[in-house]
Amino acid sequence: MEVITCSALLSVSLLAQSSALPSVGYGAMAMLLLFIMGSMWIGVIANRATESSGFMKGFFLGNRGLGAWALALTATIQSGGTFMGFPSLVYSHGWIVALWIGSYMVVPITGFGILGKRLAQLSRRTGAITVPDLFRTRFHSPALGVTCTIFILLYLSFMMFAQFKAGAIIIKLAWPGSGELALSESTSVMDMRYHIGLVIFALTVVGYTLIGGFLAAVWTDLFQSLMMFVGVMILLFASLSAAGGLEQATQTSLQNTGPGFVFGPGYIPDGSPHQFLPLSLAISFFVVWIWGGVGAPAGLVRLMASQNTNVIRRSVYLLSLYNMGIYLPLIVICICGRALIPSLETTDEIIPRLALMTTSGWPGGSLVAGLILAAPFGAVMATVSSYLVVLSSGVVRDIYQRFINPHAERNELRRAAWATMIVAGAVSVAVSWSPVKYLQAFIIFSTSGAAATFLVSTLMACYWRRATRVGVFFSMITGALTVMTLYLIGIFELLPQPSIGAVTGFRPYFLFGLDPLIWGILSSAVMGIGGSLLSTPPEEELVAKMFGRID
Amino acid sequence: MNSSPPVAQPGASETEKPDPTLTDPLVRSSMREALLVTAIWFIAGTWSISVCYLMGYNRSVESLKLVFGFPDWIFWGIVIPWMTCTVVSILFGLIFIRDGELGQDLENADDLGLGG
């Protein structure tokens, strides 16, 4: 979902239409302020919760104390995109998007059942606080640790830049009295309000993450996930009532569009031969959402932080119920949206527009709409906070502590972590002040690249005794290079390809119609297995420590 | 990917040293669960994609049938398997996943004296 977050965040642009609905801006701004104050408070509480422990494990891993709710609702879902880009796709292409997102039906068991228990155990056996820590110790290879660190810093930096821009735009548009109309990526949006929004966003998110570290990131994520659930439930009821039920909504939206809206491969508004979801991409997304999620570095860290196996078990069924209550209702909501608002030019606006329309006559409707509209802001803050923690842990643990000051005391480590977050925030503000054209392309690549780099290598680390540092190194490099190559071919249009997939400015090259991540995973697996079998077997003592019974 | 490693016997001595010939029970149960989850993912994907493709692609609009407001292919290809997977996930979490000791963390993870 991350790949669609940035442009989708513009959905909140409807907030700007305060001249038509003057109370909306105040409701939304009130909710934004609530999110900001709530997050700061969470930061302080998180700080108190980790004060008595060792700094590294407390600040970067929450003392491995994540409970079921926190783990379930924050480890696998990328909620930033859930409320924004995904609804836009449903509104644009119709019911076919249910198949596009269909693999989320098994995310709860794949997200926790494939790596959860074993990764939590392995991270304890290795004493790992970060993902590079885990690989370094599991394979007894500093070089592998450095490789991981470089990849994580690279990917997360790009992924974080986009979130800063999105956060700034939300604040700008929620400003009471703002007369701005809907915006798009191509519109010039970098005015004074944007820059003020950028600074406020940066100060807020860096501030509370700096205070509370990993736990602050997780708890704000949990907070916004729950808010989002409440928002979806309210909007489901409101939109179904307004549309006259789902059957009526489907029929009306069909009349408003065309047959593609209710059948595959999906509706294309301009009637071009472009196909949103041909069979090859339907198969791709059943792989991409699942295995991409399993290999995401920020998710791996949260699994490492889980308290015990009972927590992992409970997370499975909590997330099952949550996903069921979020994704199918969101699809229904957006189908109703197409029936109620037939031709929305900026489709990213569907959720806020629907919220405004359906709650306008309610007592306190402004605040309800504000809650729905401000949820993306909470999602963006939580995402940035999570990236800041992983980024900072990479610098402090894997660079500062390893190579610069191995005997650093608690206060030195704390200062290093703070300095990293402040620098990361400052760089993000600088980059987002006037974003470069190809930034979005790097962000999209980073999401797939991270999964292609870490999925197979983590599976090998967890489950294969014969895996070697050489094999894992080749697995990481090959996965990353494969995805990067296919993205570069697509972005620069070096090879002709069929017109398929979501209509965006940057499309990868779909080799044989399949998503690049699939090729990344396959090549990573081939090189990982081949490289391991062809290299010297790992030391028996090391394997015993990682796999043997040692209680 | 593990080639049938031996299993640690329950009740092993607490002072028992690591033995490369014995695999921790939690590793075994994790792998078993991971394989089952992968199978569930494969079955769910095969069902959803097949049903949606066969029932929902390239149809004439006159043939549209709605089930509880959903197009029939979405109902049978997404809604029903999603509900089934939710039930399976709940049962998986409640019954199938085996609890186990994750082991002790290293005493002082702030230091770099990591194992290995």
Distance from CA of A114 to the nearest CA of B (A): 4
Pair A103, A289: CB distance under 8 Å: yes
DSSP B76: I
Give me A148's structure tokens.
Answer: 């991981």
pLDDT over threshold 80, residue A319? yes
Q: Which of residues 148-187 of A touch B (CB under 8 A)?
A: none
Residue A83, pLDDT score: 64
Q: Does A273 touch chain B (CB under 8 A)?
A: no
Give CA–CA dist A444/B92, Å, rounded.
Answer: 33
By C-alpha distance, which of A85, A92, A101 is closest to A9?
A: A85
Whether residue B19 and residue A138 make contact (CB cut-off 8 A), yes or no, is no
Does residue A498 have a cis bond before it (omega within 30 degrees)? no
Integer Cα distance of A533 and A523 in angstroms: 15
Confidence label for A20 from pLDDT (cuts 50, 70 and 90) = very low
Question: Which pLDDT band, with edges at 50, 70 and 90, does A202 fall under?
Answer: very high
Give the pLDDT band of residue A115 (cuts 50, 70, 90).
Answer: very high
Asked if A145 contacts A135 with a C-beta cutoff of 8 angstroms, the reply is yes
Residue contact B66–A250, C-beta within 8 A: yes
pLDDT tens digits, A143-195? 999 999 999 988 888 888 778 877 787 777 666 655 443 334 444 456 787 88
Closest CA to A54 of A298, A419, A417, A551: A417
d(CA A95, CA A106): 19
Average per-residue pLDDT in chain A? Answer: 83
Check: CB of residue A113 under 8 Å from CB of residue A316. yes
Q: Residue B70 belongs to what H/E stretch?
A: strand B70-71
What is the maximal distance between C-alpha atoms in chain B? Answer: 73
Read off the pTM: 0.86
Query: Going by DSSP bridges, is the β-strand pair B70-71/B66-67 parallel, antiparallel, or unpaired?
Result: antiparallel
Check residue A118 and give its pLDDT.
Answer: 95
> Per-residue pLDDT tens for B53-93?
999 998 999 999 999 999 999 999 999 999 999 999 999 99
Instruction: Give B61's DSSP letter.
Output: G
- Is residue A494 over pLDDT 50? yes
As a whole number of angstroms, the distance between CA A433 and CA A424 comes to 14
Whether the per-residue pLDDT at A17 is higher than 50: the answer is no
Identify which of A315, A547, A551 has the shortest CB distance to residue B27. A547
**Which one of B30, B68, B91 would you mutate to disrupt binding with A, by most A Cβ within 10 Å of its Cβ?**
B30
Chain B contacts of A245, Cβ < 8 Å?
A: 69
DSSP code of residue B97: S
Taking Cα atoms as reference points, which of A18, A80, A33, A85 lies closest to residue A366?
A: A18
Task: Give the SS3 label for residue A4.
Answer: helix
| pLDDT value for A374 | 74
Complex prediction ipTM: 0.86
Tokens 């709710």 correspond to: A69
pLDDT band at A19 (very low <50, low <70, confident <90, very high): very low
| pLDDT single digits (tens) A451-470 | 999 999 999 999 999 999 99
Contact list, B90 vs chain A (CB under 8 Å): 316-317, 320-321
Q: Say yes or no for a CB contact (<8 Å) between B110 and A55.
A: yes
Q: Does A314 touch chain B (CB under 8 A)?
A: yes
Q: Which of A450, A60, A351 is nearest to A216 (CA)?
A: A60
Lowest mean pLDDT among A15-19, A311-315, A525-529: A15-19
Q: Which amino acid is residue A160, in one-letter code?
A: M
B69 phi and psi angles, rounded to 5 deg: 90, -15
Residue A338 contacts residue A253 (beta carbons within 8 Å): yes
A482 or A21, which is more confident: A482
Residue A359 in this model has a pLDDT that exceeds 90:
no
Mapped onto helix, strand or coil, the DSSP state of residue A509 is coil
Q: Does A20 contact B at CB distance below 8 Å?
A: no
Chain B residues within an 8 Å CB radius of A277: none
| Other C-beta atoms lying within 10 Å of the C-beta of residue A523 | 22
Q: What is the enclosing helix (H) or strand (E) of A23?
A: helix A22-50
Is the sign of the CA dihedral A129, A450, A135, A398 positive or negative? Answer: negative
Rg over CA atoms, chain B: 23
- Tell me the one-letter amino acid at A100: W
Most confident of the following: A158-162, A195-199, A350-354, A516-520? A516-520
* Contact partners, residue B15, CB within 8 Å, separation at least 6: none
Show the tokens assigned to B78: 């997404």
What is the Cα–Cα distance from A159 to A443, expressed in whole angstroms? 5
Average pLDDT, integer, range A356-381? 76
pLDDT at res. A15: 39
